[in-house]
Amino acid sequence: MKFRKRIIAGNWKMNKTVSEATELAVAIRQELAETSDVDVVLCPPFTALAAVAESLEGSTISFGAQNMHWEASGAYTGEISPVMLRGLYCHYVILGHSERRTYFGETDEIVNRKAQAALASTLRPIVCVGETLEERESGKHIEIVAKQVHGSLAGIAEADLKNTVLAYEPVWAIGTGLTASPEQAQEMHACIRKELAVLCSQDAADSVRIQYGGSMKPSNAAELLAQPDIDGGLIGGASLEARSFVELVKIAKERN
C-alpha cells in the first residue's frame, strides 16, 4: 500500500477575532511546532490569515483559507482571489464545504472552477464532498458522493490531483455530535478512492489523501484514523481549542 502522510486540518469557520486567532495559533504552535510526521493545517477566517501566518513562521504548521473566488482579480465585491491567498503564503484552501454548498449555492461546477484556479496558483485545495441524511437514508449516498467527486475534480491533471486533498464530510455529522461509524466512513473513503482511479489513474487515487470530517474529536479519532482509506481529519468544533486539536494531531501521529 502506498504511504500517505496523514493530514489534520482545523476549519475555524466564522470564529475567532484576530487576537483570539493569534492566541490559538500560538498555543498550537507551542505543542506542535516541530511536527513533521503529520501535516498540520490551520484555516482561520480571512481576517486572521496574516496574523496566524506570522504566529506560525518558522514552524512546520501550514495554514490555509476556507474559501476563495476563482478569478485572479476583478469586480467581485467581497471576494478573495487565489493570487491574494498566495500573497499571504497560504498553502491550502478549503473548497466546497457543505456550508458553502448549502448557504451560498456552491455547485460542483463552481467548486471545480475554484479547484482549478487554486492549483494554477499552487494552492492545495481541500475539496469537500458528502451526503445529507436524506440522501443517506434514500440509499443513494455512494452515487451522490461519486457525482460530487467527478464534478468537483473534472479535468484536473494527474500531477495536480496528487496535490489535492479530499474531505469526506457527511453533512449529517458536521457540528451535530453525530459521527459516521468507522465502517461507514471507510466504505465511503474506499468508494471515493475508486472514483479517483476512474477519473484519473490508480496511481493518483492511491496518492490522494482523503480526510474524514464530521464531529471528529479525540474520543473517536483513533478508530476512524485506523481505517485504511482515512488519511486524516478536517476538524471543525474540536479545532477551536488548542488542547483538543493538539490531541487529535497526536492521535494521528500514533496511527502513522
Pairing of strands 124-129, 165-168: parallel
Hey, what amino acid is at 153?
L
- When asked if residue 235 is in the footprint of ligand PEP (CB under 6 A), the reply is yes
Give CA–CA dist 133/191, Å, rounded. 18
Please say whether the beta carbons of 240 and 201 come within 8 A: no
Say whether 143 is catalytic: no
Residues 59-78, one symbol each (x = binds ligand PEP by CB under 6 A, - = not), give: --------------------
Among the listed ranges 144-152, 209-217, 219-227, 244-252, the one in contact with ligand PEP (CB under 6 A) is: 209-217
Among the listed ranges 48-56, 111-119, 169-177, 190-198, the one in contact with ligand PEP (CB under 6 A) is: 169-177
Q: Which is nearer to ligand PEP, 32 or 174 (CB)?
A: 174
Is 63 strand, coil or helix? strand
How many residues in the chain?
Answer: 256
> Grid coordinates representing 253?
501521529
Q: Which is nearer to ligand PEP, 1 or 14 (CB)?
A: 14
Q: Which residues of 110-140 are buried (b: 16+ CB within 10 A; e: fewer)?
A: bbbbbbbbbbebebbbbbbbbbeeebbeeee
- When asked if residue 28 is in the footprint of ligand PEP (CB under 6 A), the reply is no
Q: Which residue is nearest to ligand PEP (CB)?
A: 236
| Closest to 234 in 3D by CA, of 213, 218, 215, 216 | 213
The catalytic residue among 135, 169, 189, 195 is 169
Among 39, 131, 135, 169, binds ligand PEP (CB under 6 A): 169
Is 82 strand, coil or helix? helix
Q: Which is nearer to ligand PEP, 165 or 204 (CB)?
A: 165
- When asked if residue 45 is in the footprint of ligand PEP (CB under 6 A), the reply is no
Say whether 97 is catalytic: yes
Among all residues, which ones are annotated catalytic?
97, 169
Positions in the binding site for ligand PEP (CB under 6 A): 11, 169, 174-175, 213-216, 234-238
